[in-house]
Structure 1
Amino acid sequence: MNANNLDPAAQQQRKAYYDRIGKDSMTPLWEVLGALVPHQPKSPAVPHQWKYAAVRDSVMEAGRLISAEEAERRVLILENPALHGQSCITQSLYAGLQLIMPGEVAPAHRHTQSALRLVLDGEGAYTAVDGERTTMRRGDFIITPAWTWHDHGNLGNEPVVWLDGLDIPIVRFLDAGFAEKSDSAYQAVVRPEGDALARYGANMVPVDFYQQPAEPTKVFVYPWERTLASLRAIASGTPDTHFGHKQRYVNPATGRSPMPTMAAFSQLIPAGFETRPYRCTDGTVYVCLRGSAEASVAGQSFRLGENDVIVVPSWHSHQFRAGPETVLFSYSDRPVQQALGLWREQRN
């Protein structure tokens, strides 16, 4: 019987019962069962776009208001409009635009949260991970794995901006966050640039190296020029109707995601090509690195230009239509969902 059909006396009796058990920190499941066990995902997050040209001035203004040393990380969080105050772009993912000015150092620290960087704007900066630096070039996908020491510096003459993606909400949900600051602002260089890529990223690994599946990749930079060359090399074939030409980044030593909590992808959509509607349970953050495209997300339309960011929440149907040849980078929480047997997709 629907509770709305109960007579007033019965409704009052139930309310009194709920109030009474509430004093013992209990609540009736039948009042919330539909929300707890939905027929399909109903994400509270909403689709949203951040136009880089529109927000860049605000990012640069932060550089005049606070130093990288004072802020520790000078970042403007990309907060989902439906999740205000929660510092997340989906319920499980964080995103932000980080700025480092010429001559600055974002001081060394480490934390249990995994992080990725996608370089968007400017030249001359570097990221250092456990004693090895890598020069940051536009389009480079860079990882700072969980609990690795990392710092950033800008040896160039212009501001540098990159997108930060972290699993902060996942770690926060599990109450498993730890962080530590270094005594030094930056790490001593103990290996030459490119060492990790040479040791672990050339279809070879050191003879005595064995890695557990959950451990993050030793390769912490995936250069844009290699990504683009790989996509272009396969683009002569027939594009997938739902993705165009899409590749996922992997840990070369295991074939798994570079990070245990986040997956990353790059896809090339040929000029004029329109992907078919697709949805999946992993809410996804997309960045347009090259070209432009029309994105349709659950009936909403967005025009993506270079460096624009868009979020597609869980189980929201979406498709892209490229103008010129377009390259999109994306990241999501797919590894977590797959490890738990939760991930689903639907191709229309």
Structure 2
Amino acid sequence: MSMATADQANPKHNIQGSRQAYYEKIKGYNLAPLWEVLRGLVTPEPKSQMQPALWKFAQVEKYMLEAGDVITAEEAERRVLVLENPGDPGKSKITNSLFAGIQLIMPGEIAEAHQHTASAIRFVLKGEGAYTAVEGEKSSMEHGDFIITANWAPHDHGNPGSEPVMWLDVLDMHIVNHFQASFANHFDEKMQNVNHEDGDSFERFATGVLPDGMPAVTNRSPVINYPYRKMKPILDRLKKTGDIDKRHGARVRYANPINGGPVLPTMGAHLALLPKGFKGEPYRSTDGTVFCVAEGSGVTVIDGQPFEWGGNDVFVAPPWKRYTHEVTGSGDAVLFSISDRPAQESLGIWREGQ
């Protein structure tokens, strides 16, 4: 039987052959058939290659201190160990949109001043005596402090103290890089000039009054540091009055005091107290969320997989993966969390569910 006769006898084979020839033809003109890829582009529910994961601080701390012997802050520019999601290794991603890492600064070191398009936050894990300087304010770093470095804000870090200091860094660099809009700049001076005392921005903007003439609307918080010693009592008050969400515990949202919006246009953060014995109800949302343990111990089940956590541990819940928190220790627990929820909300695509 000839090839032509075979094709006539098998019309489906003939159609497939014709389609493939057509696809090859248009490929040379940088065209592609949407009907062949549509199901992968428009899915019934969110799909992510990211996986739930947990990093135990006890182990990370050992590796961080080893890094202090291996490379100086000056050589590294920023001595950071990247928290890489196992679902997408080698991409420096903890979620599809966010970078996260643990940074170390040793006594006597300076992480020199620079600025970049990506916004950054710090959540202080361990150690005392270090500072971060942002836009002219030199802020001391204490356990649980939430420090903001907004888009293009000059910043540097230093440790005039006597012990190593470590903190969690989270940046929106993968959002910036998605738009291919990354810029960075280094300064001739290692340290920026500071003209605002420690805590100035919090006292100036976050105490119920504002400097006269301050713009009514801004897309980022003017506060540099939300100190843990001022945030924790608010959680305690919520617990005392019974304002406890069945999924999240007694939770507050770090807010821009100018308009009540998120602290950054791309990233938003919460601090939650989970009372002793707390067993949370299931929750999921489209923002992949990075958690850091400020106090206590417990277990979070993410997509059916349990992750036991304790002080300063970091774990991640990928987008639209159901999770529940449970406190297993002898006291309350406090969880810090950060995600790209503000970016999703501004686009009208954020969703939550059980």
TM-score under structure 2 length normalisation: 0.94
Q: Could you tell me how far apart the structure 2 residues matched to 1:6 and 1:52 are?
A: 63
Whether 1:182 aligns to 2:187 is yes
Q: Could you tell me how far apart the structure 1 residues matched to 2:241 and 2:274 are?
A: 12
* CA deviation string 1:37-58 (max 9, x = no partner): 0001011111111111122111
Q: Could you tell me how far apart the structure 2 residues matched to 1:251 and 1:91 are?
A: 25
Please, which runs of 5 or more residues in structure 1 have no aligned partner?
Answer: none
Q: Could you tell me how far apart the structure 1 residues matched to 2:137 and 2:250 are?
A: 32
The one-letter amino acid of 1:332's match is S
The one-letter amino acid of 1:317's match is R
- Residue 26 of structure 1, CA deviation: 1.2
* Greater CA drift, 195-204 or 279-288: 195-204
Q: Could you tell me how far apart the structure 1 residues matched to 2:54 and 2:21 are?
A: 46
The one-letter amino acid of 1:134's match is S
CA contact (8 A) 2:139 2:197 kept: no
- Residue 10 of structure 1, CA deviation: 2.2
Percent identity between the two aligned chains: 47
- Residue 9 of structure 1, CA deviation: 2.6
Matched with 1:231 is 235
Q: Could you tell me how far apart the structure 2 residues matched to 1:107 and 1:330 are?
A: 27
* CA deviation string 1:269-325 (max 9, x = no partner): 111110100000111000111001110001011001111111101100001001231
Aligned partner of 2:291 among 286, 290, 299:
286
Matched with 1:345 is 352
Paired residues for 1:89-168 under 5 Å: 89-168=94-173
CA contact (8 A) 2:218 2:258 kept: no
Whether 1:73 aligns to 2:83 is no
Whether 1:204 aligns to 2:213 is no
Whether 1:59 aligns to 2:97 is no
Any runs of at least 4 consecutive aligned residues in structure 1 with deviations exceeding 6 A, and if so which?
Answer: none
- Residue 188 of structure 1, CA deviation: 1.6
Q: Could you tell me how far apart the structure 1 residues matched to 2:131 and 2:245 are?
A: 36
- Residue 6 of structure 1, CA deviation: 7.7
Whether 1:218 aligns to 2:222 is yes
- Residue 167 of structure 1, CA deviation: 0.2
Paired residues for 1:266-305 under 5 Å: 266-305=271-310
Secondary structure in 1 matching 2:157 = strand
Matched with 2:338 is 331
Matched with 1:252 is 257
Secondary structure in 2 matching 1:169 = helix
- Residue 22 of structure 1, CA deviation: 1.1
* Greater CA drift, 231-240 or 144-153: 231-240
Whether 1:193 aligns to 2:198 is yes
Cα 1:224–1:37, aligned 2, differ >3 Å: closer, same or farther? same
* CA deviation string 1:215-253 (max 9, x = no partner): x21111000111111100110233211111111100111
Q: Could you tell me how far apart the structure 2 residues matched to 1:74 and 1:198 are?
A: 31
Q: How many residues get paired?
A: 342
Q: Could you tell me how far apart the structure 2 residues matched to 1:274 and 1:124 are?
A: 37
- Residue 211 of structure 1, CA deviation: 4.4
- Residue 74 of structure 1, CA deviation: 0.7
The one-letter amino acid of 2:342's match is P
Matched with 1:42 is 47
Q: Could you tell me how far apart the structure 1 residues matched to 2:316 and 2:13 are?
A: 46
Q: Could you tell me how far apart the structure 2 residues matched to 1:71 and 1:240 are?
A: 42
Q: Could you tell me how far apart the structure 1 residues matched to 2:204 and 2:325 are?
A: 37
TM-score under structure 1 length normalisation: 0.96
Cα 1:6–1:237, aligned 2, differ >3 Å: closer, same or farther? farther
Q: Could you tell me how far apart the structure 2 residues matched to 1:310 and 1:248 are?
A: 19
- Residue 160 of structure 1, CA deviation: 0.5
CA contact (8 A) 2:217 2:258 kept: no
Secondary structure in 2 matching 1:256 = coil
Q: Could you tell me how far apart the structure 1 residues matched to 2:76 and 2:60 are?
A: 19
